[in-house]
Structures are given as C-alpha cells and as structure tokens.
Amino acid sequence: MKLVVTGRHLTVSPAAHERITRQLRRLERLLGDSAVSAQCIIGREGTDYSAELTLHARGDNLLHATGRHTRLETAVAGAAKKVGQQARKVKDRWKSRRKGGRALPGLVPARSDELARPPAPSGPRLVRSRVSAKPLTVDDAVLALESSRDGVVVFRQADGGSVAIVFRRPDGRVGLVDTGA
C-alpha cells in the first residue's frame, strides 16, 4: 500500500512518519491486497493536532476519518480506529456478496476433469467439464451464479425443459444463452 504523509503548516519528522506507518499496517493487514493507497494529512490547530486519514480500497471505496487530540499519536490512532471500523464494514459487505460460497439446493456444482494429455503446442489448452443440468428458473440460475466461483451455470429451464446457460460478462452484468426455440 502506498502511503503519503503531508504536514499542513508543519514538518513531519521521520519518527512521526514511522508511527503513522505502524498505525496503518493494522489496516493493511485487515484489508490485505484490497488496500491501494492511503493519505494522512497532519495539521495543528491551537494546542490540538488533527489527523485526516483517507484510505483508497479496492473498487471505488474511499474510507475517510478525522482524529483530534493534543498528542499526534493519539490523533492518528483515533482516525485509524474510525477507518478500521469502516474497513470492517466494507470487508463484511464483500464477504456477504460472495454469500460464503454456498451452493443452492437442487444445484449440482460442475466438476472439471482436466485431460491427462499435455496441451497441443499450437492451440489453447482444453479443460473438459461434466455438468448435470438440473431444472431451474432463470432467477434461480442467476442466484446460483452469484454464489458459485465459476463464471458459468448450465441448467435446464424449469418451464420448457431446454438447456440454457447463465454467465458473467466482462462488464459485470449477467448474460443468458437460451438454446430452446
């Protein structure tokens, strides 16, 4: 994670920079690779220090907090604590979107059986998958896609019996391939 420490009308000593870096290591451990960058602006207003902390996480998540105290370390710790609470909420939201990887009832996850032969040098590598197409509605198939790790769900439509495919598009939307007439 890239960290920028700026002093507003004061100079930030290397020792203060190290203490701020130590505070942000906890946030970096919490978010992992999702933490992109952080900016800490230190200022002094009267006898109090103010620390504005902005952390940019994966996607468009900007976590921002301000801490004030007579000691610089305590002001930074207060801002880091508030950003940590926001980071936990964001991380929980990411986990709930994945829905824990649970499979829906009635849906058999696809098994991929890789070929034992090495790939042909001139073409792409082929991976075969055997899928048991259970009867589902399109809405149930989309829910199954959201909870699966694969980007594709093959199913038999409950109303018509034709085979259909629901897949995740590169732009994040969901596509449907209907093989029935």
User: Would you state the structure tokens that stand for residue 171, as one six-digit string?
Assistant: 């732009």
Co-location of 82 and 134 in the same domain: no
> CA–CA distance from 55 to each of 41, 59, 91, 118 (Å)?
12, 12, 14, 45
Give domain status of residue 118, yes or no.
no
Give domain status of residue 62, yes or no.
yes
* Domain extent for 85: 2-98
Co-location of 137 and 83 in the same domain: no
Co-location of 56 and 144 in the same domain: no
Tell me if 165 sits within 8 A of 176, measured CB to CB: yes
Co-location of 90 and 106 in the same domain: no
Co-location of 161 and 91 in the same domain: no
Report CA 106 to chain centroid distance, whole Å: 28
Give domain status of residue 41, yes or no.
yes
Co-location of 70 and 106 in the same domain: no
Tell me if 53 sits within 8 A of 62, measured CB to CB: no
Burial class of 127 by CB neighbour count within 10 A (0 to 12, 13 to 18, 19+): exposed
In order along the chain (181 residues), what is the average pLDDT of each group of 10 residues? Answer: 87 88 85 84 91 86 91 90 89 74 50 49 71 82 84 84 86 84 56
Co-location of 94 and 138 in the same domain: no
Considering the entire predicted model, what is its pTM? 0.51
User: What pLDDT score does 112 carry?
Assistant: 46
Number of domains in the chain: 2
| CATH assignment of the domain containing 74 | 3.30.160.100
Q: Are strands 135-136 and 127-130 parallel, antiparallel or unpaired?
A: unpaired
User: What pLDDT score does 111 carry?
Assistant: 47
